[in-house]
Amino acid sequence: MNPWVALGIIFLLGFFACYATALSWADLTYVLPATSMGYVLLAFIAKYLLHEQVTASRWIGILLISSGVGFVTRGPALTHNPNFQAELTVATGERQ
């Protein structure tokens, strides 16, 4: 068992727990744009930090994914929780 693989699995489980929690609080139209930026960020990290070759077809794929996310965010928001802002304020410790 490779320790890097085990660490990756732990991070993946943490991501899924956070993602499921975020989806229980808000619609996909709010959660998806936050997670889809990871595709763009990872492509830039691969190209500039790891010096990997990112082909034009991969950039087109990222553009298609980002366009799809933009399409989803234009949909109607079904999250109408009047207590959400109050809960968020209490959770972050901010004053109203």
Digit-coded pLDDT (tens) for 1-52: 899 999 999 999 998 998 888 888 877 777 777 777 888 898 999 999 999 9
pLDDT digits (tens, 9 = 90+) for 63-84: 898 888 778 777 666 655 555 5
pTM above 0.75, yes or no: no
pLDDT of residue 95: 55
> In whole angstroms, what is the distance from residue 50 CA to residue 45 CA?
7
Q: What is the pLDDT of residue 19?
A: 87
